[in-house]
A and B are shown apart, each in its own frame.
Chain A
Amino acid sequence: MKKAKVGWFSFTCCEDSTIIFTELMNTHYDEWKKIIDIKAARILRKKEDLKDLDISFVEGAIASERDAEKLRKIRENSKILVAIGTCACEGMPSSQRNKFDEKQKKEIRDEVKRFDLLKETLPINKFVKVDEYVEGCPMSEQAFLNVLDKCVKKVR
């Protein structure tokens, strides 16, 4: 049976779920190498192949138009897109600036402008269709394993 082509992508967040992903490899690597082929994951390799992915896991919230563009490109190339962790699913805590008071907003105004950030930092479903959600900060390991299993069955 062919392996599912998988991508792992991080946007605005602390990458805690990436760490959990690399930790799950400690005990699941032998099993995963039979069923998935990791085509893109900056933490693991330089080459990033975005073409015709079966499953894309997306961590982090979206804070800039540049990231929104990349996310749309990932969506176009993926059969299934999974939101990973609270920032991708709900926006928080990366979107904490959305709720700042006037004083705090003034403090960060120059940086928001200088780095060309969006007016608000938002969860990924504000930009693209999301097929599955794995909640948690960091993501729940069991929920991720369940979603991975479900998605792999769908695409293989």
Chain B
Amino acid sequence: MHTFDITLEGLSKMEGHAGLHVKVKNNKVEDVKLMIVENRRFFEQAVQGIDINSAPSLMSRICGTCSIAHEVCSIKSIEHALNILPSEQTVILRNLAMFGLIIRDHALHLGFFSLPDVMGKDSILDFDEKNEKEHKLLHDIFDIKQAGNDLSTLVAGRAVHGIHLLVGGFSAFPSKEKVKEVVGKLKSVREKTLNLVEIFRDWEEKFEAPTEFASLMNDDFSFLNGNVVHAKNEEVTEKEYLKHLHEVVIPYSTSKGYDFEGQVFMVGALSRINQNRKNLHKETRKDVNLSLFPSYNVFHNNLAQAIEIPHSIDSAIELLENTGFRQENPAKPEKNTGEGVGIVEAPRGLLYHYSDIRDGKIVKSKVVVPSSQNQIKMDKDIVLLVESMLPKKGKKDIEWEIEKLIRAYDPCMSCAAHFLKVKWI
């Protein structure tokens, strides 16, 4: 009978810092603790008293990699609170900023974090440049990431902590020349992204467990708007979403997470593709095989992310080629007091910002990040995975498999650290 402890102090190749402790007694997992090794920065308090026009750029600092999602989500919550109606062009620009984010962030996760697992290597830095396949893959990842970066920079001014995004609109607009240049770059990497889809489709890793899914639903597979749809096609509005989430403690873990009306659920690319794949861009649907979906295999979160890259490229090209961008003043608020909710699909799933505003200043704020919504499922899955490997597999193998599974979720600890309530051990 196996009795041992697994302690992974610094989980690597993920965004932010986390550790994991698993206690096994007589082939049963007694305890799982996902330890957040990030220190708190207290954004929900820090934003109190801040002017609505400065709040989104502060909230952007919650996370480096998904900063644009936090910024857009914070803006949406403020606009909903004060009845600000963004123009059609603003919505297009925000969609483009989100597409750029999805391309760059997914390519980072797939290329730098997951691809080494596929190739059986520790790091993308260990890819052999003399090996044609590895050399090509490495440089494809760089090129795809750069194209996403260029798209975000075109629209938001920078790929990290965008400077053109405002409450009500934008402060600068893409020029014709730059639009043409970025369209060219997006087209030049499209084929490479399809190759990446094939790699993750061929990867035979499998971990399945029952779950419900939750994601935004809309008819153009946008990351910006829509109602939240969860299991059994129940639809809830942005405003109502939080009422359905319950903070819970799971018996074998000291960490808390959320369930959705008592159900374990998952957010992120796998949820989006499972629920909304029929609305992927028509060009993407022509070139991508979707037959593996719907899927309960957590490793298909990688494949789903890979599919969202060409979708984001095709959608962005269409918007860029069919929009003549013009200077425009930001939409004005109808009032200066109110409360509002914004939800977007961040790369890792549903992101929720709530803002309570008085006299143009934030008085209260709440943020729910994707990684804390996946927390319970992640913990439960680790238990199932470890128990499925006992008693045959040794500690080293189990450790390797756990890290791979956690990476497939693409958790973001910079985000999660500030909102997850995890007991320190």
Interface residues of A (CB under 8 A from B): 10-20, 22-23, 25-27, 29, 33, 38, 42-48, 63-64, 67, 93-94, 96-97, 100, 104, 107-108, 111-112, 114-117, 121, 137-138
User: Which residue from chain A places its CB closest to the CB of B45 in the assembled complex?
Assistant: A104
Chain B hits for A138, CB < 8 A: 64, 158, 160-161
Q: Once the chains bind, are A45 and B39 in contact (CB under 8 Å)? A: no
Interface residue stretch chosen among B139-147, B202-210, B382-390? B139-147
Cβ-neighbour of A44 out of B58, B65, B124, B138 (below 8 A): B124
A10 in contact with B160 given A26-B143, A93-B46 (CB within 8 Å):
no
How distant is A119 from chain B, measured CB to nearest CB, in Å?
13
> How many A-B residue contacts, CB cutoff 8 Å?
130
Q: Once the chains bind, are A19 and B145 in contact (CB under 8 Å)? A: no
Q: Once the chains bind, are A104 and B39 in contact (CB under 8 Å)? A: no
Cβ-neighbour of A14 out of B10, B67, B424 (below 8 A): B67
Chain A hits for B149, CB < 8 A: 23, 26
Q: Once the chains bind, are B45 and A48 in contact (CB under 8 Å)? A: no
User: Which residue from chain B places its CB closest to the CB of A104 in the assembled complex?
Assistant: B45
What 7 new A-B contacts, CB under 8 Å, besides A46-B123, A46-B403?
A: A15-B16, A16-B67, A16-B160, A23-B146, A93-B46, A108-B40, A114-B424
How distant is B286 from chain A, measured CB to nearest CB, in Å?
28
Would you give the 0/1 interface string for B19-62, flagging 1 where the beta carbon is closer than 8 Å to chain A? Answer: 00000000000000000001111100110100000000010011
Cβ of B17 under 8 Å from chain A = yes
How distant is B365 from chain A, measured CB to nearest CB, in Å?
12
Q: Once the chains bind, are A121 and B39 in contact (CB under 8 Å)? A: yes
Q: Once the chains bind, are A100 and B45 in contact (CB under 8 Å)? A: yes
Cβ-neighbour of A115 out of B39, B62, B159, B160 (below 8 A): B39
User: Which residue from chain B places its CB closest to the CB of A42 in the assembled complex?
Assistant: B12
Q: Once the chains bind, are A97 and B45 in contact (CB under 8 Å)? A: yes
User: Which residue from chain B places its CB closest to the CB of A95 in the assembled complex?
Assistant: B41
